[in-house]
Chain A
Amino acid sequence: MTANVSPDTTHLEVRGLTKSFYGVRAIDSVDFDLRGGEIHGLLGENGAGKSTLCSVLSGLYRPDNGSVLLDGEEVQFRSPQESANAGIGMVYQHFRLVDSFTVAQNIVLGLRRDQRPSSMRQVNQLVAELGEEYGLPVDPTAAIWQLSVGEQQRVEILKQLFRGARVLILDEPTAVLAPRETDRLFEAVTTMVERGHAVVLVSHKMAETMAYTNRISVLSRGRNAGSVTTADTSPEEVARMMFGDAAAAVRTSFGASATVGDLVLSVSDLQVMGDKGQVAVDHASLDVRRGEVVGIAGVAGNGQRELQEAIAGLRPITGGTVTIDGTDCTSAGPKETKHAGLAYVPEDRLGVGLSPGLPLGHNLALRSFDRAPHSRRGVLSQSSIDATTDHLVAEFDIRGNRTGMRVSLMSGGNLQKAILARELSEDHEVLLAAAPTRGLDMAAADAVRGHIVDERQNDRGVLVFSEDLDEIIHMSDVVAVMFKGQIVGVFRGDEIDVDEIGLLMTGSDSMHGVEIADLYPTEEEPEVSS
């Protein structure tokens, strides 16, 4: 239909693309090129700009600067529809399907009358043929809700192929798949490139990227960090491109840790289930001592959130133990873990750390409202809450509050300061901080890091989780790497090696003797060669 150019000639080129959000450059002068017949891996840390680049290509965002050339002609997409009409198809990690519609109905949904056969029977047949052709078998008359996740993904891909997509962008397609479904997906992707389609594989996973792509481009902090032919590179080199600038982070800027003291938080052989009943934390063990900062590095979604919640008493533990300052907190709730000495800065600031629709004072009293001086025999003392609020606002430099204003109208930096103020002002022995600087501007992030590292001087322990490897390396005395729910490496002080941490984060083989086979499903030898 719309694809009047043969796929083989497809050549997508991106030149100097820049897109800012609120003054922050999500991508900055990015170049990228893609040819028909190749699988091009697009790698980068969280927030490196991969999604923004894909969103520009799929017509969701309009770039501030730079150009997109399709077969040598400059194109400007003002909507996803225009991008689709030009032959670019995006398969999102979270499917965009109507559960109660059939496969074929979903595939033609949104197409004009002249873009599709008039009878549903014909559509069914076309979809079935297309599925057979590309090795994406699926029953066109089945309703979406009846299909497995892998089958739903096939529908998404078929939807794009049906619309004549020559360029397919797959956003972390294996994140939701079981190992066998992953194999089938890559078989189909291989068929597509054999037929001249171009595929962009957005991924965090080193193994599949090395195995299936022809070329790899890496983004780091919104900029190009290198582009290589897969056959000529090694996981080490790619990891260095992804995390390379972390090596430049000045580890010593916070000074060496004070004398390291007793164990204050101990997680031993912990097992925790995720929301969907999967194993999220898999026999993880780690120790935090007084006077040290332990940082957990890892790509988001590798069990960090579940581990945090399990330590804090918000998620049931199915195996192993958690001990906080000598108290067994394995089956404790959030009140008990706090009582045992845990200060907890959760990942989700508004909604977990703070109650968004309530005033600052209420939120600062959130964890101590039921004790003196805030309440006596169940009666609140508003004057005590107000006094604490005034005191903490001054001490932690929380700005932008007005009496009675709901806290959600304050800026991210001030929200985080408010949470820290509350958590650090109450008795505690160890601080658990998750993504403490995410989304904050430089000044606010520095202030937050300062507060966290100060804990060490006060002879307390700190466990910090962050997707920003720089930050982890910058702040931590000990770095542990989390991948697929396991702690796959622990590095102390001078042993901290950015290259190796980067490899572990992406699930690559490690020099510390962690078997890759345990972490990642076995794969056939790469069938695609350049």
Chain B
Amino acid sequence: MNGLTSRFRVSPRGFASPLVRFGVPFLALIVALIIGGLILAMAGNNPFEAYRTMFDTSLNGWSAMTRTLALATPLILTGLAAAVAFQMRVYNIGGEGQLYIGAIAGSWAGLALPPATPAVIMLSAMLVCGAIGGALWALLAAIPKAYLNADEIITTLMLNFVALSLMNYLIFGSQSFWRDPKRTVPGGKRLPDAAIMPSLSGRLHIGIIIAVVAAVLLWWLLRKTSWGFQIRTIGDSPSAARYAGMSVRFKTLAVLAVSGGLAAIAGVSEVSGVTKGLEPRSLATDIGFTGIIIAVVARSNPLGVVPVSIFLAAIATSGSTLQSIGIAVEVVFLLQGLIFLTVTAGEFFVMNRLEFVSPEPSGDSIPGDTTDLPAGAT
């Protein structure tokens, strides 16, 4: 009787202590690694060896770290792009397309300015051009959202395909300004040296600094300014925001523009620091979509986006080396998916407290009794 009928009760937590807020996702991560390890073991691999290899190739030592950080750079930016929109409960799924537009607009600036332009001016111009391009692209979805309440999930998602086709067309389908006419295999013109982000170490370039500064700046904007106050209010309750005199319409436009701009800067960072020219094949690697996952796992907190991006990048970096020990690359996606699942499920335990209740001796409590509410107060 007592063992079987013991129940647990869920009650909302008023305030989650830092221990809970950081401890729960960490435990969730461990759980994901354990499940992943079990799957590896079932497939006949040694999970310890696999994890060791992954750790060595992605985080152990400076050169491993630079590879990981280089990969994390655009992820931080697209993660921030998704996070800022999610803060207002606007679901920008268009980071991928906005990144392409950023790459197109940024490389245009890099190719159009005289190659002798000083690097500082050149790179600034590329970043500004790219960000404006991405913001305008996001506004294509934001304006219908703000004025006609068109679902931004659909519009931003569809615009990804338009942006991808546009980028492919510029390089593969036309003799555009971006395409290098001298190459037999279609490809982008190489950017002049001044338009290439200086390397910090190996593949790691100054884009990482831009990304981290953007994260701190965005956190400050959201937490410490009246602009962020409004974004958070609208995200929590649009009707309370209207009552307080905030313009939900204008903020929708602003937030999607900022979001698009951030994703576009990821595109500039990639085109300038990695591909060094508009190369559709190398740019279209789902960086924008991964940013959405990062924002969700980081609970839309800009400062959380940085470590989450680095962690996901670490898993991705180690993918190729897994093959050398006979483990399929798919394990990387498996782990990413598992982490996404456990961390979002863990959110429940951050928001709620779980208490175990011993069964009541009398049988007079009717299940569901507590959900009775007065009859709608007529």
Contact = CB atoms under 8 A, between A and B. Distances in A.
Nearest to A370: B226
Contacts of A253: none
B372 A61 contact: yes
A358 B232 contact: yes
Nearest to A400: B14
Contacts of B356: none
A21 B372 CA distance: 7
Contacts of B232: 358, 362
A224 B247 CA distance: 49
Contacts of B245: 333-335, 338, 367
B227 A51 contact: no
A353 B14 contact: no
The residue in A26, A312, A352 that gathers the most chain B C-beta atoms within 10 A of its C-beta is A352
B224 A380 contact: yes
A198 interface: no
Nearest to B242: A314
Interface stretch (A31-39, A42-50, A256-264): A42-50
Nearest to B375: A51
B32 to A, nearest CB: 27
A302 interface: no
A369 B243 contact: no
A375 interface: yes
A23 to B, nearest CB: 12
A46 B378 contact: yes
A161 interface: no
Contact of A362 (B15, B229, B372, B378): B229
B376 interface: yes
Given A357-B236, A380-B229, A334 B374 contact: no
Contacts, number: 107
B248 to A, nearest CB: 12
Nearest to A354: B240
A497 to B, nearest CB: 25
B376 to A, nearest CB: 6
A358 B222 CA distance: 14
Interface stretch (A110-118, A148-156, A235-243, A401-409): A401-409
A357 B237 contact: yes
Contact of B15 (A26, A62, A370, A405): A405
Given A26-B374, A47-B378, A409-B14, A380 B225 contact: yes
Contacts of B242: 314, 334
Contact of B237 (A46, A355, A374): A355
Interface in A280-305: 300
Contacts of B237: 351-352, 354-357
Given A355-B237, A362-B233, A380-B224, A52 B375 contact: yes
B43 interface: no
A209 B362 CA distance: 46
Contacts of A314: 242-243
Interface string B111-140: 000000000000000000000000000000
Interface in A172-197: none
A353 B243 CA distance: 7
B241 A378 contact: no
Given A353-B243, A366-B240, A380-B224, A50 B378 contact: yes
A50 B225 CA distance: 49
Contacts of A382: 224
B375 A356 contact: no
Interface in B215-272: 224-230, 232-233, 236-237, 239-245
The residue in B12, B375, B377 that gathers the most chain A C-beta atoms within 10 A of its C-beta is B375
A358 B233 contact: yes
Contacts of A50: 378
B327 to A, nearest CB: 43
A129 interface: no
A13 B228 CA distance: 60
A353 B244 CA distance: 8
Nearest to A300: B378
Given A335-B245, A356-B236, A379 B225 contact: yes
B148 interface: no
Nearest to A408: B12
Contacts of B372: 21, 61
A341 to B, nearest CB: 15
The 4 closest A-B pairs by CB, nearest first: A335-B245, A51-B375, A405-B14, A355-B240
Given A351-B239, A356-B237, 14 more contacts: A26-B375, A47-B377, A47-B378, A51-B377, A52-B375, A334-B242, A351-B237, A353-B240, A354-B237, A355-B237, A367-B245, A374-B226, A379-B226, A406-B15
